Amino acid sequence: MKSAARDIVLSIAAPNVAGTLTSVASTDIFTTSVPHGFAIGDAVFFGSLVGGAGLTNGKRYYVIAAGFSTTAFEVSLTAGGATVDHTSNVTSGTVAKMNVVAQVTDLGPAGSSRGLIDASCYGDAFMDWVTGQQDGSEIDLVLALDQALASHVALKAAYIAGVPVTFGMTLLAAAFDIAMPCLITKYERGGARDGILAANATLKVLNPGVTDTP
C-alpha cells in the first residue's frame, strides 16, 4: 500500500485488565473488579465475552465519558460518540487497551492480483489489503523508537516472549479499522534518521486472520 499509508496508525494491545469484567445491559455500563486504568477516549477491545449480545470480540471501541469511573466505563464506536447498546449482561470476559505504537510509513503488497495498491485510487483498497493477508504474510515496519513509550516496550517484550499479540491499524478518515493477531518475528534498533533513533520490526500475520472492524 502506498500514498495514504503514512496516515495509518499502528497500535498494540496492552495486557488484559486483571480481575473480572461484567456489565449490566440495561445501562450499558461495564465494571472491572480492579481499576481498569483507562482514560476517556482510549481505544479498547474485548478479547472474549460471555454474554454481551450486540458486541463483537476483537472490534475496536472507544471509552466515553458516560458512566466513567476508575472501575466502570461505557464504549462507543467512535471517540466521543454515542454509547453502544448491548442487550444481554456480560457475565465474564476480557478487555484491553490499544496503545499507539507509531504511524505506518509503508505497507507491503496486499497479496492480491493488484500487487501494490494505491489507497488514493481505489475505494475498496483497504478491504483488498485486509483480505489479501494470509497466514504467514509479513509486514515490515520502521518506527521512530521511543523507549519511554509503553507501546514500544510492549513491542520489544512481545518479540522476546515469542507470543502472538493483537495489533490494530486505523485510518479513521477512510473507515479503515482492523485488528489482527501477529507474531513479531524481527525487532532491532536501527540507525538514526534525522537525529531520531529508529527501530525495525516485522509482523507475521496469523490465522484466524484479520478481522475487519470499521
What is the b/e burial string over 102-134, where b = at least 16 CB atoms within 10 angstroms of the residue's CB?
A: bebeebeebeeeeeebebeeeeebbbbbbebbe
Q: Which position has the higher pLDDT, 49 or 177?
A: 49
Q: Is the pLDDT of residue 60 over 70?
A: yes
Give the SS3 label for residue 111.
Answer: coil
Architecture of domain 15-97: Beta Barrel (2.40)
Q: For a pLDDT cut of 90, what percent of the chain falls above it?
A: 34
Q: Kindly state the average pLDDT of the residues 18-25.
A: 96
E runs forming strands in the chain:
8-13, 21-24, 29-32, 43-51, 60-69, 72-76, 90-104, 138-144, 165-171, 176-193, 196-205, 211-212
Cell of 31: 465494571
Q: Say if residue 37's pLDDT is above 50.
A: yes
**What is the average per-residue pLDDT within 36-53?**
94
Average pLDDT over residues 37-45: 94
CB 139 within 8 A of CB 102: no
133/109 Cα distance (integer angstroms): 9
Phi-psi label, residue 24: left if phi above 0, alpha if psi -120 to 50, beta otherwise: beta
For 4-12+101-212, CATH number out of 2.60.40, 2.30.280, 3.30.70, 3.40.462 equals 2.30.280
The torsion defined by the Cα of 158, 160, 163 and 169, in degrees rounded to 10, comes to 30
Mean pLDDT of the chain: 78
Asked if residues 61 and 75 have their Cβ atoms less than 8 Å apart, the reply is yes
pTM (2 decimals)? 0.73
Q: Which residue has the higher pLDDT, 37 or 126?
A: 37
pLDDT (mean) for 182-186: 88
Instruction: Please give the Cα distance from 126 to 132 (Å, whole number).
Output: 10
pLDDT of 62 reads 93
> Rounded to an integer, what is the distance from CA 184 to the centroid of its chain?
15
| 130-140 mean pLDDT | 61
Find the mean pLDDT for residues 67-90: 95
Determine the Cα–Cα distance for residues 60 and 110; give it in Å rounded to an integer. Answer: 22
Which sequence spans correspond to the domains of the chain?
Answer: 4-12+101-212, 15-97
The pLDDT assigned to 68 comes to 98
Contact by Cβ (8 Å): 14, 96: yes
Question: Quick one: which of 141, 131, 82 has its CA closest to 110?
Answer: 131
pLDDT at residue 118 tops 90:
no
* 3-state SS assignment for residue 156: helix
Q: Average pLDDT in the 58-67 region?
A: 91
